[in-house]
Each structure stands twice: as C-alpha cells, then as structure tokens.
Amino acid sequence: MRRLLSAAETVAALFLLLIALLTAGNVLLRDVFSVQIPDWYDGSRMLQGIALFWGLALATCYGSHICVDIVWEHLRPRGRRALDVAATAVTLAFLAPLAWMVWVKVGSTGTQGTMDLRLPLVNFYAVAAVGMTVAAVLAAVRLVLLLRGREALLEPPALDAPAAPKASDGP
Amino acid sequence: MDRDLVALLGFLGMFALMALRVPIGIAMGIAGVAGFAGLSGLKPGLNLLANVPLSVVTDYNLSVIPMFILMGAFASRSGMSTELFAAGRAWLGHLRGGLAMASVAACAGFAAINGSSVATAATMAQVALPEMRRAGYHPGLSAGLVAAGGTLGIMIPPSVILVLYGIMTETDITRLFAAGLIPGLLAVAFYFGVVQFIGWRRPDVMPRGQAHGWRERLASLRSLWAVLLLFVFVLGGIYGGLFTVEEAAGIGAAGTLLIGLARGRLGWAGIRAALIDTLRVSSAIMMIVIGAFLFGYFLTITQFTQKAVGFLVGLPIGPYGVLALIMLGYFVLGAIMDELAMILLTVPIVFPAMMQLGFDPVWFGVIIVMAVTFGMICPPVGINVFVINSIARDITLGRIYRGTMPFIAVDLVRLVILCAFPAISLWLPGLIR
Amino acid sequence: QDKPVELKFAHWLPANHSLARNGFEPWAKSVEAASKGSIKVVFFPSQQLGKAADHYDMARDGIADVTWANPGYQAGRFPLIAAGELPFLVAKPGPGSAALDAWYRRYAGTEMKDVKFCFAHLHVGTLHAKKPITEPGQLKGMKIRSSNGTNAQFMTLLGATNVQVSAPEARDALEKGVADAISFPWGSILSFGIDKAVKYHTDMRLYASDFAWVVNKGWYDKLGASQKKVIDDHCSNEWAAKVGAAWGDDEDSGQAKLEKAAGHTIVKLTPAQLDAWKKAAEPLYGQWVQGVDKAGANGKQALAELRKELDARKAGN
Ligand code: NA
Ligand code: NA
C-alpha cells in the first residue's frame, strides 16, 4: 500500500508540473506565435483540483495537516494519543460526508464541459472524487492504526533526493 | 435560534476543535457546515460540501499558491538559495554579525523568487542556520533571525498572501506586489540594525568571519545571474504586459526548472522531491482555504459579518483608533491560530470597514502582511518557528522565540512607520500608473 | 395571513452595480410590497455565498433561496439557453429578453428541472479595442478578453487568442498589453474604467450574455398560497422584459457617453462589413443546433421559434 500511495503522490505532484508547463507553454505560444493551447485554462484547473484532492488524501494519511499544537504539546504521551485519536475520528467524520457529497456533485455535473474542447468535466471530477474517497478511507485506516498504536506505519516516505548543496561547498 | 448566538457558537466550536488538534481547515469546515445546517437545514449544509471544496481547488486564481511555492522549491533544490547565502557571506561575512546579515540578505533574495514565508524560513534554516552555528553564532538568536527573515517571503514580491488578499478584495495584485518591495527592503535595513546592535553589545554571540578577496566576491555575484534573471523576468513580464500574475506563477516555476536543468543541477530525484514538497505544502494550505470558505459562508448567513463591519465603523475612536484596535486583534489572533486562516476569516469583515474609514486598499494589503508577520514569529504559535524547530531539532522552541524578540520589536517600529507614512508603500505602485 | 419568510437572494455583482440597483432592488421591493411584508428579501452580493459559476447550484441546493445565474459559466451544461449567447442574434436587450424568456419557458422545465425557473434575460455587447476593428479578419493574432464561452469560441474561430482575466483585472491587462481588445457591454467599459485603455468601439451587436433567475424548490414549496402567487407574479415574462431593459438600456447608454468622450471613436460598419461578421459567426449557429440535437430537442426548429419570438418583438438583429 505504501508503494501505491507513493506512486499516487508522484502522479499528483507531476500534475503540478504539468500546470506550470501548460501555463508557460501557452503564454509562449500566445505572445510569440499568436496561437493558444486549447483548454490550457480549464485543463490546468482540472489538473489542480485532482492534484490537490489527492494531496489532501496523502496529508490525511501522513497526519501532515496544519494543526494548532497549543494543548497537545503540554500533554504526556498518553494524553497526546487520546487527543490524536479524537482528532482523527473528527477528521473522518468530516471527510466521509465530504467524499460522499463530491460524488453527488459528480452525479449532477451533467453535460458540462471544458470551454474549448468540451471535454466532459464529469471525468475530471470523478478522478478528484476518488482522491477524496481515498482521503476518507485513509483517515479510517489512520484511526485504526492509532488505536492499535501502530501509526508509525504511516510516516511519510523520505524524499530520496540529495539535499541542496551546502554553502561551504562552493562560492 | 438567535443568529448572533449561532455565530458565537460557531466560533467557539471551531476553536474547541482546533484545540483538540483537529486540522485547522477541517475544524473550520465542520463549524461552518454545522452552523449553516443549523440555520438553513441539514441538506443545504451538506450541499455546501458538494460545491465548495471542488470549486476552491479548481480555481485557477489560486494556482499562484502551488506555483509560487514550486518556483521556490525548484530554486532551492537547484542550489540558488545556497548561492544567495554564499554571495552574502563573501560580501558581508567579515563584518560584525556578518553571517547574520548574509542570512538576512539571502532571505530577501530568496523571497524575490518565491511567494511563501514558510518556504523561505525552511530553506534558509537548511542553508544559513548550520553555517551560522558552525561559526559560533548563538543558536537561538540565529534561528530567531531566520524565522524573522523568512517573513520577507510574503512582503517582497511575489507573495502568496498579497495574491490572496488581492483576490478576496479585488485589489490590483500588480500594485500590491509593487507596494511590498520598499517595506521589505526597510525590513532588511531594520534587521541589519538589530544585528549590529546585538553584535555591539554582545560580540561573543556574533563572531566576525574571515574576509573574502575581491575575486571571490565577484565570482559569488556571477553565480547569482539565475536568481536575478528569474526575478526580473517574472516581475518584468507582469509589469511589461507579457502575462498576468496568475500566469507569472506558472511561468516562474517552469523557468526555474528550465534554468536548473540547463545548469545540470536538477535530476529526476530533485525534480520529484521539489514537486512532492510543493504538493504537500499546497494541499495543507488548500485545506485551510476550503475550511475558511465553508466557515465564511456560514458567517455570511448569520449576518455577523455585516454587523461586525457596522460595529467597527461606528466606534467613536477615529479611523486610526479602529486601525490600532484591528492590529491588536490580529496580534492576539495571530499568536494562537494559523495566519492564513486568520486572514481568510477576517478580511471580509475588516476590509470593508477600513475602506469605509477611508484607508487605501493597496496600503492596507501591506499592513495585512505585517499582521501575518507577527503571527508567524510570535509565541506561542508561530509557524516559522515551528518549521525551524522541525529542521534544527536541538534548538528548543523557547530559545527560538527568545531569539525572535528583538526582530519583533523592530517589526513593531516598522509597522508604526508604515502606518504613519503610507507613501513608503504607495510610492512605487503610484509610479506604475 | 402567511408566516413571514426570508428570501435569501444571492448574486456575484457588487451591491451598487447597475443591475443590482435597476433590476434586483426594484424586484425585491415589489415582492415585499405585494406580499405585504410577509416575504423579506435579504441580498448576498459579491459572491458572498458562493463563486459566480456556482449560483445555479446554490439555488438548487438551498444555499440561497433565489439566485441570479449565468448558465454560460458552465459550458455545455445548459445547451438550449445558450442560444441567447449567439452572436448578432439580438439587437435590443429589453424586448430581446422578453423573447428569450418567452421562448425558453418551453424548455426550462427539462433543462433546469432541479430548480423553479423564474425568468431569463440578456444584455448585448460589442468589441472594444486599441485600434479600429471593422472586419473579422483583423482579429487574427489579437489577444482578446472574452465575455463568455460562446464569444471565446467565436474569437478562436477568427484566429484570435483568449486571455483569461476577471472583469476587475481586465483594465490592467489591456493597459499593460496582455490583451489587445475586450468584448464587453457598453456601459461597463466606463464603470470598470476600461475606457482609459481602449479607445475604439465597434458599433455592432457582437455578443450577448444571458442570465436566469432561479428559485429553490423546497423554499418555494413551503410558502403559503398567497406568497406563492406573489413569487409566480414576479417570475413573469413582464419582469424579464423589465429587468432586461433596465440593465441592457443602461449599458447601451454607454455608447452615447463614449461618443461624446474625448479621444474615443465609435467605429461604424458598412452593410458589407456587417455581413462579413455575420457570415463568420455562422459556424457557431451550426454548433448550437448540433448541441441541442444531442440534448434531445430539435435544434433547427428551436432556433426558428426563437427567431419568431424575436421578430414578433422587433428585437432581432
Ligand atoms: Na516573495
Ligand atoms: Na501564529
């Protein structure tokens, strides 16, 4: 499963790169050759939506959402665990109906399409909805692992890139 | 039920959930949906969840958030942050507090090619902080300096906070960017001043480094061409009419990648790491934006927003009295909650009030950034301090907070100056038109 | 006596916009008066309850009770009403709105079935550029900020590229040269300050944007009998004409103001030039007919019916 999540994260991250390239490519073509990439705008929007919903799924899995630690940091390990369990349960209680309602949205999108090529939005929305569903499922998984004291299984994989070169390495 | 009471309960519920360490965005979302359902019915409340989150993440205007962060990630993975610091050290290293000033200068330089203050602080905590410590600088003070220097990331353009403010208030983002530049440089000057003062009083905490020859100095400048090119190209393109601000973010990210590839500094591993870093940070931010929208719609139907605006405008303490009150409110809020959430929740109330009191929208954007700045480095909850603590584990939060104090003091002075002399912020944007 | 209710009315314009003053507010006052105060209208302007493109769904979902929606913001979702966006179809916004509304009532029950359709209206606009534009061929290679999807398709068809910026950003984009021209209603050129950036305004009916007022079904069903009648009376063809004229004529009055303004030129077209534009727009009519056929109605017949309604009111082009 870890492998699968890591692959999903890489694909979602590549979508961000695609947005940058679509935007830059379109401006280049527009300003230099007076042509445009069809649906670069709606395409970027859809890629962004999919990437971020999947990104939310991974943030939920890794427990890397932005939180206020003001109470948590004054607790002993047992108190912290109790708080983590409660917070994850609340998170699940929010993400489950959210995922459900995103599917409702998918169902009501109808014939709506992109501006230029009229690609059906329902396909893009559905891929995003799968991401949100995964988010809800991962919240449940995290809750179970927390209750069993095995949440360390969900540590995010380290990025295998060498860190930026040291200042002392060169001018 | 009385709407004011529901609004109050909504706020209390939201803060209670946050204290339980429910993710901030989700706490706001739950309070918003529950409150909306309480007033309009369960179905409309749930229906908010069908439209709002998807609508937020597919908003092209918001693409500036991931894109300006991606630009910074590529820049730091391809060594531009290191080059900035190396140049600062070659020129300033031999002076009193030289490495500290080099760090501030590098923060400012890195701020010019990314839009996030957390990213600036995190990057410099990896590049500059270890070097200062190796040279014998006081750890807490060095970390505090990087935390404060990180806030330049949102003052010096490009800036994610100014973009969000511009979108929310329909203020021209190009003018907002121009408005942040001089206040940002003023911050650099003030931080240099703090370093000099501390170095004078306590030379032991900021030892001098060795001098670098002129050849080395000029060589250090040569490697800065990439940073300079990016800054000039991105902002020049915005002001020269080549592309919009939203497009500039994507172009900046693509351009940084291209330069990194051309210099042989970015391989697949580095690209992937930069992309995943960006995805993680942007997703965490976007959850807060989604939550803030959900809570905001709830506040709107309680009509609390409209009442609060009326209340602020009606206070018999004059425009500057209201301004001071608002800044005090931000100081308190920023200490305990996330700055982005704070801005998203309060600007719809505060901005109309400030406009009715006759303040300038562009100038107020700069003031909002100052409010965020305090929230990011003030105890007990300062995100920049947390980020640095997570990178330099052995420097305790308490020591970093003590290290930020002198910088918070000069930031306060800077805030007063920016309020007293709006021209510092408005002169440059005035030249554009 | 009916139980007093609140009518949450959401739209995305600023509260002081011409349509808000001349359309929304008079309608609200009339509803309040006719219901003897038992319906109280509360406005939520400026996207306070949701994004512009989401306003149809907001009424469907009960986020607001009545919303002002632009069906064109969701390309392909409402293929029939998109007829109102066809270039050079409508000349006069008041009677044009009445014609569109009368015609669309036949289809609203299926196309907008998950809301109570109130009425439809439109406004008409033209091309404003930095240089005089008389012929469609001139647009090749130009960068244009379009007003809606159909208009953007037209511009692409003519070899122009579309610049995506919001209306408040449009002036900046034009001043800096990110865009060379904009399709916009006449009056808004002045109210958005875009007159400082573009000086040539072609005197033609290049595009129209259409709008629908839609009501949440659950909210309507809960009303008392006399309250329902008030809403029904205010969801009428007369109100479509009234709102269409109030806003559209106000926009069109901008043409006279620009004509008098120093440095501005109203570019007139010869009949031959106008024919060239209309000819260039023909593929869009074909696309519309196809889209409607696909949606299960008869496109050619529907278009003929709409033209008949327009002709009956002398609102055609
Ligand atoms: Na910046
Ligand atoms: Na804070």
Cis amide linkage into residue B158, ω under 30° from 0: yes
CA-CA distance, C7 to C28, in Å (whole number)?
Answer: 9
pLDDT of residue B341 exceeding 90, the answer is no
**Mean pLDDT score, B341-358:** 91
Residue of chain B whose alpha carbon sits nearest to that of C178: B241
Proximal ligand: closest to the CA of B336: 2
Q: How far is the CA of B155 from the centre of ligand 1 (A)?
A: 6
Residue bearing the bigger pLDDT, A160 or A56: A56
Say which of B49, B127, B337 has its CB closest to residue A167. Answer: B127
Proximal ligand: closest to the CA of B71: 1
Report, in angstroms and rounded to the nearest whole number, the Rg of chain B calculated over CA atoms. 22
Dump the DSSP string for B25-40.
Answer: HHHHHHHHHHHHHHHH
> pLDDT band for position B305 (50/70/90)?
confident
Domain of residue A40, residue span: 2-153
A146 touches A81 (CB < 8 A): yes
Q: How far is the CA of B322 from the centre of ligand 2 (A)?
A: 22
Cβ contacts of residue B148 below 8 Å, gap of 6+? Answer: B191, B377, B384, B404, B407, B408, B411
Dump the DSSP string for B282-324.
Answer: HHHHHHHHHHHHHHHHHHHHHTHHHHHHHHHHH-TTHHHHHHH
Proximal ligand: closest to the CA of B373: 2
A44, B250: Cβ pair inside 8 Å? yes
A166 found inside a domain: no
**pLDDT by residue for chain C (317 residues), tens digit each?**
789 999 999 999 988 899 999 999 999 999 999 999 999 999 999 899 999 999 999 999 999 999 999 999 999 999 999 999 999 999 999 999 999 999 999 999 999 999 999 999 999 999 999 999 999 999 999 999 998 889 999 999 999 999 988 877 888 899 989 999 999 999 999 988 999 999 999 999 999 999 999 999 999 999 999 999 999 999 999 999 999 999 999 999 999 999 999 999 999 999 999 999 999 999 999 999 999 999 999 999 999 999 999 999 999 87
Bridge partner list, C145? C182
CA-CA distance, A20 to B60, in Å (whole number)?
Answer: 12
Backbone angles phi, psi at C211, to 5 degrees: -140, 150
pLDDT of residue B250 exceeding 80, the answer is yes
Residue bearing the bigger pLDDT, A47 or B2: A47
Q: Give the ipTM.
A: 0.94
A35 vs C contacts (CB less than 8 Å): 161
pLDDT of residue A171 exceeding 50, the answer is no
Nearest to residue B115, comparing CAs of B250, B291, B283, B258? B250
pLDDT of residue B130 exceeding 60, the answer is yes
- Asked if A110 has any chain C CB less than 8 Å from its own CB, the reply is yes
- Asked if B25 has any chain A CB less than 8 Å from its own CB, the reply is yes
- A69-78 long-range contacts (CB < 8 A, ≥24 apart) are A69/B21, A69/B381, A69/B386, A70/B19, A70/B336, A70/B380, A70/B381, A71/B19, A71/B20, A71/B21, A72/B21
Task: Say how far residue A1 (Cα) sits from the centre of its chain.
Answer: 16
The helix/strand count (H/E) of chain B reads as 22, 0
Residue of chain B whose alpha carbon sits nearest to that of C216: B44
Distance from CA of A126 to the nearest CA of B (A): 11
Chains touching C by CB (3 or more pairs below 8 Å)? A, B
- Asked if A101 has any chain C CB less than 8 Å from its own CB, the reply is no
Handedness of CA B160, B162, B165, B170 (dihedral sign): negative
C61, B297: Cβ pair inside 8 Å? no
> pLDDT band for position B337 (50/70/90)?
confident
Distance from CA of C173 to the nearest CA of B (A): 7
Angle at B389 between CA B383 and CA B393, to 5 degrees: 160
Q: For chain A, what is the domain count?
A: 1
Note the pLDDT of residue A156. 79
Say which of C51, C172, C177 has its CB closest to residue B172. Answer: C172
Q: C192: which 2 tokens?
A: 């958005």
Dump the DSSP string for C238-265.
Answer: HHHHHHHHHHHHHHHHHHHHHHHSTT-E
C156, A111: Cβ pair inside 8 Å? no
Residue of chain C whose alpha carbon sits nearest to that of B173: C169
Q: How far is the CA of B148 from the centre of ligand 2 (A)?
A: 13
A15 found inside a domain: yes
C161, A110: Cβ pair inside 8 Å? no
- What distances in angstroms separate CA C5 from CA A144, B344, C68, C122, one per listed residue? 47, 31, 20, 29
Q: pTM of the prediction? A: 0.94
CA-CA distance, A7 to A9, in Å (whole number)?
Answer: 5
**Mean pLDDT score, B184-205:** 95
- What distances in angstroms separate CA B325 from CA B362, B408, B413, C300, one per listed residue? 20, 18, 17, 64
Beta strands in chain C, from DSSP E residues, in sequence order: 5-10, 39-44, 66-69, 116-129, 143-145, 161-162, 181-184, 200-202, 207-215, 265-267
Mapped onto helix, strand or coil, the DSSP state of residue A26 is helix
The H or E element spanning position A7 is helix A2-28
B67 vs A contacts (CB less than 8 Å): 16, 19-20, 23
Residue of chain B whose alpha carbon sits nearest to that of C62: B44
Q: B144: which 2 tokens?
A: 């505090």
Q: How far is the CA of B388 from the centre of ligand 1 (A)?
A: 18
- Asked if B121 has any chain C CB less than 8 Å from its own CB, the reply is no
A71-75, B187-191, C192-196, range with greatest mean pLDDT: B187-191
b/e per residue, C141-168, with b = 16+ CB within 10 A? ebbbbbbbbbbbbbbbbbebbbbbbebe
> pLDDT band for position A159 (50/70/90)?
low
Residue of chain B whose alpha carbon sits nearest to that of A48: B58
Beta strands in C62-219, from DSSP E residues, in sequence order: 66-69, 116-129, 143-145, 161-162, 181-184, 200-202, 207-215
Note the pLDDT of residue C169. 83
Bridge partner list, C66? C9, C215
Report, in angstroms and rounded to the nearest whole number, the Rg of chain C calculated over CA atoms. 20
Angle at C134 between CA C130 and CA C138, to 5 degrees: 70
Q: A94: which 2 tokens?
A: 């929010």
Note the pLDDT of residue C166. 80
Q: How far is the CA of B226 from the centre of ligand 1 (A)?
A: 16
- What distances in angstroms separate CA A86 from CA A80, A130, A136, B294, B320, one per listed residue? 10, 25, 15, 22, 44
Residues 239-298 on C with a CB inside 8 Å of A are: 295
Q: How far is the CA of B121 from the centre of ligand 2 (A)?
A: 15
- DSSP class of residue C3? P
Proximal ligand: closest to the CA of B335: 2
Proximal ligand: closest to the CA of B24: 2
Residue of chain B whose alpha carbon sits nearest to that of A62: B280
Residue of chain A whose alpha carbon sits nearest to that of C162: A36
A171 found inside a domain: no
C161, A35: Cβ pair inside 8 Å? yes
**Domain coordinates in residue numbering, chain B:** 1-58+289-302, 59-266+303-430
Dump the DSSP string for B86-129.
Answer: HHHHHHHTTSTTHHHHHHHHHHHHHHTT---HHHHHHHHHHHHH
Angle at C106 between CA C103 and CA C110, to 5 degrees: 130
pLDDT of residue B387 exceeding 90, the answer is no
CA-CA distance, C218 to C64, in Å (whole number)?
Answer: 11
How many Cβ pairs closer than 8 A exist between chain A and C? 42
- Asked if A27 has any chain B CB less than 8 Å from its own CB, the reply is yes
Residue bearing the bigger pLDDT, C235 or B333: C235
A111, C143: Cβ pair inside 8 Å? no
C54, B55: Cβ pair inside 8 Å? yes
C178 vs B contacts (CB less than 8 Å): 241-244
CA-CA distance, C17 to C13, in Å (whole number)?
Answer: 6
pLDDT of residue A161 exceeding 50, the answer is no
pLDDT of residue B28 exceeding 70, the answer is yes
What pLDDT, in 10s, does the model give residues B38-95? 999 999 999 999 999 999 999 999 999 999 999 999 999 999 999 999 999 999 999 9
> pLDDT band for position B1 (50/70/90)?
low
A30 vs C contacts (CB less than 8 Å): 143, 161, 163
Bridge partner list, C40? C6
- What distances in angstroms separate CA C148 from CA B217, C167, C199, C241, one per listed residue? 55, 11, 22, 22
Residue of chain B whose alpha carbon sits nearest to that of C169: B172
Proximal ligand: closest to the CA of B231: 1
What pLDDT, in 10s, does the model give residues A128-142? 999 999 999 999 999
Cβ contacts of residue B360 below 8 Å, gap of 6+? Answer: B422, B426
Q: How far is the CA of B340 from the centre of ligand 2 (A)?
A: 9
Beta strands in chain A, from DSSP E residues, in sequence order: none
C143 vs A contacts (CB less than 8 Å): 30, 34
Which residues, chain by chain, have CB under 5 Å from ion ligand 1? B 111, 115, 153, 156, 159
